[in-house]
Amino acid sequence: MGNINLKELALALNLSTATVSRALRDSHEISPETKKKVLELAKKLNYEPNPAASNLRSNKTKTIAVIIPEITNNFFSQAINGIEEIARTHDYHVLIYQTHENSELEIAFMRRLLSGRVDGILISVASETNNNQDFKDIINQLPVVFFDRVNENIDAVKVTTDDYESTYNATCHLIERGCRKIAYLMALNNLSTGKKRFEGYRAALTDNSIAINEALILTDSNNEDENCAQIKKLLVNEQPDSIITSIENLALPCYYACKDLNLNIPRDIKIISFSNLKTAPLLNPSLSTITQPAFEMGKEAASILFKILNKKYFEPNGTLILKSTIIKRESTGF
Amino acid sequence: MGNINLKELALALNLSTATVSRALRDSHEISPETKKKVLELAKKLNYEPNPAASNLRSNKTKTIAVIIPEITNNFFSQAINGIEEIARTHDYHVLIYQTHENSELEIAFMRRLLSGRVDGILISVASETNNNQDFKDIINQLPVVFFDRVNENIDAVKVTTDDYESTYNATCHLIERGCRKIAYLMALNNLSTGKKRFEGYRAALTDNSIAINEALILTDSNNEDENCAQIKKLLVNEQPDSIITSIENLALPCYYACKDLNLNIPRDIKIISFSNLKTAPLLNPSLSTITQPAFEMGKEAASILFKILNKKYFEPNGTLILKSTIIKRESTGF
DNA sequence: CTGTTAGCGCTTTCAA
DNA sequence: TTGAAAGCGCTAACAG
pLDDT, tens only, A291-308: 999 999 999 999 999 999
All residues of chain B having their beta carbon less than 8 Å from the beta carbon of residue A95 are 63, 93-96
- Residue of A3, A59, A81 lying closest to B72 (CB–CB): A81
CB contact under 8 A, A50 and B115: yes
CB of A48 within 8 Å of a chain B CB? The answer is: yes
Residue B182 CA, nucleotide D7 C1', distance (Å): 70
Q: What is the pLDDT of residue A282?
A: 58
Spatial separation of the C-alpha atoms in residues A169 and B299, rounded to whole Å = 42
Q: Does B75 touch chain A (CB under 8 A)?
A: no
B96: distance to nearest CA of chain A, Å?
Answer: 6
Contacts of A1 in chain B (CB under 8 A): 59, 114-116, 141-142
Residues of A in contact with B251 (CB under 8 A): 279
Instruction: Say if residues A295 and A324 touch (Cβ distance below 8 Å).
Output: no
Q: Is the shortest CB-to-strand distance from B14 to strand C under 7 Å? A: yes
Distance from CA of B179 to the nearest CA of A (A): 24
Chain A residue with CA closest to B6: the answer is A115
Question: Which nucleotides in chain C lie less than 7 Å from some protein C-beta?
Answer: 1-5, 7-13
- A318, A272 contact by CB (below 8 A): no
Give the nucleotide nearest to B16 (CA→C1'): C3
Cβ atoms B222, B191 nearer than 8 A: no
With a cut of 70, list the residues of chain A below it in pLDDT. 1-2, 279-286, 329-334
Render pLDDT for B168-211 as a digit per residue (tens, 0 to 9).
999 999 999 899 999 999 999 989 999 999 999 999 999 999 99
Neighbours of A132 (CB within 10 A): 12
B326: closest CA of chain A, how far (Å): 19
Point out the nucleotide closest to A25 (alpha carbon to C1′).
C11
Answer whether A295's CB lies under 8 Å from A278's CB.
Answer: no
Dihedral sign computed on CA atoms, order A36, A37, A42, A44: positive
Question: Is the shortest CB-to-strand distance from B43 to strand C under 7 Å?
Answer: no
pLDDT of residue A72: 95
**Angle between helical axes of B251-260 and B224-238 (0-180°, round to 10):** 50
Nearest residue to A124 (alpha-carbon basis) of A105, A106, A108: A106
Q: What is the pLDDT of residue B167?
A: 96
- Show the 3-state SS of chain B: CCCCCHHHHHHHHCCCHHHHHHHHCCCCCCCHHHHHHHHHHHHHCCCCCCHHHHHHHHCCCCEEEEEECCCCCHHHHHHHHHHHHHHHHCCCEEEEEECCCCHHHHHHHHHHHCCCCCCEEEECCCCCCCCHHHHHHHHCCCCEEEECCCCCCCCCEEEEECHHHHHHHHHHHHHHCCCCCEEEEECCCCCHHHHHHHHHHHHHHHHCCCCCCHHHEEECCCCHHHHHHHHHHHHHHHCCCEEEECCHHHHHHHHHHHHHCCCCCCCCCEEEEECCCCCHHHHCCCEEEEECCHHHHHHHHHHHHHHHHCCCCCCCCCEEEECCEEECCHHHCC
Q: Tell me what pLDDT residue A333 has.
A: 56
Q: How far is the CA of B56 from the C1' of C9 (A)?
A: 8
d(CA B316, CA B311): 11
Closest CA to B294 of A77, A72, A288, A241: A72
Given a contact cutoff of 8 angstroms between Cβ atoms, the answer to whether B111 and A3 are in contact is no
Non-local (6+) Cβ contacts of A240 within 8 A are A181, A182, A183, A216, A234, A269
CA–CA gap between residue B227 and residue B218 (Å, rounded): 9
CA distance A191 to chain B (A): 24
Q: Would you call A292 an interface residue with chain B, using a CB distance cutoff of 8 Å?
A: no
B13 CA to D9 C1' distance (Å): 18
Smallest Cβ distance to B95: which of A94, A111, A142?
A: A94
Run of H or E including A152: none
Please tell me the predicted confidence (pLDDT) of residue A332.
58
Instruction: Give contacts of A255 with chain B, Cβ < 8 Å.
Output: 282-283
Pick the residue of A5, A45, A72 with the most B CBs within 10 A to test the interface with B by mutation. A72
Measure the CA–CA gap between B97 and A16, rounded to whole angstroms: 35
How far apart are the C-alpha atoms of A70 and B56, rounded to whole Å?
A: 32
Q: Does residue B24 reach within 7 angstroms of strand D, measured from its CB?
A: yes
Separation CA A127–CA A307 (nearest Å): 28
Determine how many CB atoms are found less than 10 A away from the CB of residue B329. 19
Nearest nucleotide to the CA of A50, by C1', is: C9
How close is the nearest chain A Cα to the Cα of B82, in Å?
Answer: 10
* Proximity of residue A263 CB to strand C below 7 A: no
Residue B55 with chain A: CB contacts under 8 Å: 52
Contact B116 A1 (CB under 8 A): yes
Q: What is the pLDDT along chain B (334 residues), one digit of tens a residue?
A: 447 899 999 889 999 899 999 999 888 888 888 999 999 999 999 899 999 999 999 999 999 999 999 999 999 999 999 999 999 999 999 999 999 999 999 999 999 999 999 999 999 999 777 788 889 999 999 999 999 999 888 999 999 999 999 999 999 999 998 999 999 999 999 899 999 999 999 999 999 999 999 999 999 998 888 999 999 999 999 999 999 999 988 988 888 898 889 998 888 899 999 989 876 665 566 678 899 999 999 999 999 999 999 999 988 888 999 999 887 765 555 6
> Residue A50's closest CA among A41, A61, A39?
A61
Is A116 in contact with B50 (Cβ distance < 8 A)?
A: yes
Distance in angstroms (rounded) separating the CA atoms of residues A26 and A39: 9
**A114: which chain B residues are within 8 Å (Cβ-Cβ)?**
1-2, 46, 48
Interface test with A, best of B283, B309, B329 (most A CBs within 10 A): B283
Q: Are B132 and B153 in contact (CB under 8 A)?
A: yes
